[in-house]
Amino acid sequence: MLASERDQLKAEIFKMAKKHDQHRSGLIPVLQHVQNVSRHISPEAMQDIAEAFKIHPVEVQGVVSFYSFLSTEKKGKFIVRLCRTISCDMAGKEAVANQLENELGIEFGETTDDGMFTLEFTNCLGMCDQGPAMLVNEDIHTKVTPETVADIIDNYRNRFGAHVTQGEHA
């Protein structure tokens, strides 16, 4: 991360923390913001956040490591989360998973080289009557089939270009 980028993010972190009176209850909203704008929460960001809330950095790391929507590794612009829970599994999740890997050229848990897509499994998305279901950032897609996967992916690749951060399009 460039020094100026870090400074800018740090300023945002401090501003948000102040809005929450530096109270710990503001920690997760700040983490969510950092995750959104920089697609991960770096060690430097964790230190800045800890400073803003006057807590130890390890406290921040403990929280980051707990939640599946927060990450220390840099994610793609679009995070594809395919539901692996039972109803979607029975509805044909495996074939969709296979085709997602083919279309993106990566395996689950990986990010494409161009930094566009991260492919992950997730637990129940609450779309069990319309499975297989997947989230792409905040958008929900239901009754996904191996045939529709390519269109969905292409849509994101084309529609948003390379400069959109996560959440902006929602």
Q: Is 123 in the site for another protein (CB under 8 A)?
A: yes
By CB under 8 A, tell whether 170 contacts another protein. yes
Query: Which segment (18-26, 96-104, 106-114, 157-165) binds another protein by CB under 8 A?
Result: 18-26
Interaction between residue 16 and another protein (CB under 8 A): no
Q: By CB under 8 A, is residue 168 in contact with another protein?
A: no
Pattern 77-96, another protein, x by CB under 8 A: -------xxxx-xx------
Centroid of chain to Cα 31: 12
Dihedral sign from CA coordinates of 17, 13, 75, 141: positive
The candidate with the shortest Cα–Cα distance to 108, out of 76, 62, 140, is: 76
By CB under 8 A, what part of segment 25-44 binds another protein?
A: 25-29, 31-32
In terms of CB distance, is 13 or 63 closer to another protein? 63
Read off φ and ψ for residue 128, nearest 5 degrees.
-60, -25
* Cβ neighbours for 68, distance < 8 A, ≥ 6 positions apart: 122
Tell the smallest beta-carbon distance from residue 110 to another protein (Å): 18
Quick one: CA dihedral 121, 125, 129, 130, positive or negative? negative
8-state DSSP, 110: -
Question: How far is the C-alpha of 37 from the C-alpha of 95, rounded, in Å?
Answer: 32
Q: Which stretch binds another protein (CB under 8 A): 6-14, 95-103, 132-140, 157-165?
A: 132-140
The residues that touch another protein, with contacts defined as CB under 8 A, are 23-29, 31-32, 53, 62-63, 66-70, 84-87, 89-90, 122-131, 135, 138-140, 170
